[in-house]
Amino acid sequence: MPNITILKGHVSPETAYVVEDYPYGYKLRCKIRYWIEYKNNFGFRFVSQTTNPKKPLEHWNAPKAGTYFKFGMCMYLEHENGHVSYSGLHQLCDGAEAKAWQEKYGEGVPEARKDTSRRWIAAKVAYDAARKPGDPLSVGMKEAVQALVK
């Protein structure tokens, strides 16, 4: 497992994590900033934005946004190479995967959505714990709902 530092509180261009010396093409250098965006009914996505060293002053290029992850996202710094990366939690994982993700990356979920992420993971774990192989999909729903509202 790579040695990482969880990056917290970077939720807009104004609060973004900024790298001052980033390659722009082959010879030029620029700044790049990273943040996690959250949008209701869509989820979380990783966003990056560079400056344009060919323009005067500090001109920011258009932001580049990634794929939405419904239930959680964490941004982190990899110590080995200094890269900023992210990990997202989606609805297709099982309870064990969701719990493992929470243990590794949960502290990096933006504060405003931490409770929602925590409750969804608890519901996923409770649903899986109540099921046996071959059970209909409705088995475990009662337990999942109970875990979600706690």
**Domain locations in the chain?**
4-149
Residue 98 CA, distance from chain mean position = 13
Contact 51, 61 (CB under 8 A): yes
| Count of CA atoms in the C-beta half-sphere (13 A) of 106 | 17
Give 45-68 pLDDT, tens digit per residue: 999 999 999 998 899 999 999 999
Q: Within 10 Å of residue 114's Cβ, how many Cβ atoms?
A: 14
Compute, in degrees rounded to 10, the torsion defined by CA atoms 74, 43, 20, 82.
30
Total number of residues shown for the chain: 150
Q: Give the amino acid at 5.
A: T
Give the pLDDT band of residue 2 (cuts 50, 70, 90): low
Give 115-127 pLDDT, tens digit per residue: 999 999 999 999 9
Across the chain, what does the average pLDDT equal? 93
- What's this model's pTM, rounded to 2 decimal places? 0.88
